[in-house]
C-alpha cells in the first residue's frame, strides 16, 4: 500500500472537516442570533427588523456595489442579550455575568462577550444586498463594551476582489471608541 493518500481519501477528509467547520459556524451563528435578541425557537422572517435596531446602507443593488459602499448596524447590548449569549454559547465567565466579581477586575464592571460584540459585524453584513456568504474575518479587540452600551458595526467595501467577492474594513464603535477593528471577505451571490 502506498504511503500517499488517494484523492478520494483526501476528498473524504476535506468533506468531513468542512462539514464539521460549517456545523460549528452555524452553531455559533445561532448563539449570536439568540444573544442579539432573535428568538431562534420561532420562525424569523427574512429581512425582519426591530424598532430598536438602526441600519444604514449606501447601496441596495448587489450589481451596483463598489469600493466605498458601506453598511452599519446599531444595537444596544442588554443584560438579556449577554445572558442569552452565555446560555447559548456556554461562555459563563463571571466577568460577563457576576456584577460583584466583575467590579473586582480591571474593567470595574460587567462587560459583553467579545464574540457577542463582534456578532454585530455579521448582523451588518447580513443587510448587504444578495446572499451574503462569509469567507473570512480578522479582528482585533481594542476596548470593552459595557452592558447597556449601544454599539455600531460599520462595514465598508475597500476592495473588489472579482467574482462577487469583496474585502471590507469592519469596525464596531462604542460611541467614539473603537471596540473592534478588522476586515472581512464576503461573497455576494444572487438569492
Among residues 41, 40, 65, the alpha carbon closest in space to that of 125 is found at 65
Q: Tens digits of per-residue pLDDT, 134-146?
A: 999 999 999 999 9
Task: At 135, list the grid cell.
Answer: 469567507
Q: Tens digits of per-residue pLDDT, 77-111?
A: 999 999 999 999 999 999 999 999 999 999 999 99
Which segments within the chain are labelled E, that is strand? 54-57, 70-76, 131-141, 150-162, 165-174, 177-189
Task: At 114, list the grid cell.
Answer: 467579545
Is a pLDDT exceeding 60 seen at residue 184?
yes
For position 50, what pLDDT does the model report?
Answer: 81
- Stretch 39-60: mean pLDDT: 76
Is a pLDDT exceeding 70 seen at residue 150?
yes
The more confident residue out of 35 and 184 is 184
For position 82, what pLDDT does the model report?
Answer: 96
- Stretch 17-26: mean pLDDT: 56
Task: At 118, list the grid cell.
Answer: 463582534
Strand 70-76 and strand 150-162: the pairing is antiparallel
The more confident residue out of 7 and 125 is 125
Place of cell 422572517: 45
pTM value?
0.75
Q: Write down the mean pLDDT value for the chain.
A: 86
Q: Tens digits of per-residue pLDDT, 25-34?
A: 555 655 665 5
Cα separations (Å) of 58 from 24, 117, 154, 160, 182?
32, 23, 12, 16, 20
Strand 54-57 and strand 70-76: the pairing is antiparallel
Which H or E run contains 25? Answer: helix 7-35
Amino acid at each position: 500500500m502506498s504511503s500517499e493518500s488517494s484523492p478520494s481519501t483526501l476528498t473524504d477528509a476535506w468533506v468531513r472537516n468542512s462539514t464539521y467547520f460549517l456545523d460549528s459556524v452555524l452553531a455559533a451563528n445561532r448563539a449570536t442570533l439568540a444573544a442579539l435578541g432573535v428568538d431562534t425557537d420561532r420562525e424569523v422572517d427574512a429581512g425582519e427588523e426591530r424598532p430598536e435596531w438602526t441600519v444604514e446602507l449606501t447601496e441596495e443593488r448587489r450589481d451596483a456595489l463598489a469600493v466605498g459602499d458601506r453598511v452599519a448596524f446599531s444595537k444596544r447590548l442588554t443584560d438579556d442579550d449577554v445572558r442569552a449569549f452565555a446560555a447559548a454559547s456556554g461562555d459563563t465567565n463571571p466577568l460577563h455575568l457576576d456584577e460583584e466579581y466583575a467590579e473586582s477586575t480591571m474593567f470595574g464592571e460587567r462587560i459583553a462577550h467579545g464574540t457577542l460584540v463582534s456578532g454585530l459585524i455579521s448582523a451588518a453584513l447580513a443587510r448587504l444586498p444578495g446572499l451574503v456568504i462569509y469567507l473570512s474575518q480578522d479582528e482585533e479587540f481594542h476596548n470593552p463594551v459595557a452592558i447597556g452600551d449601544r454599539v455600531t458595526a460599520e462595514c465598508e467595501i475597500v476592495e473588489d476582489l472579482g467574482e462577487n467577492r469583496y474585502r471590507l474594513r469592519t469596525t464596531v464603535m462604542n460611541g467614539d471608541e473603537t471596540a473592534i477593528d478588522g476586515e472581512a471577505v464576503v461573497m455576494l451571490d444572487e438569492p
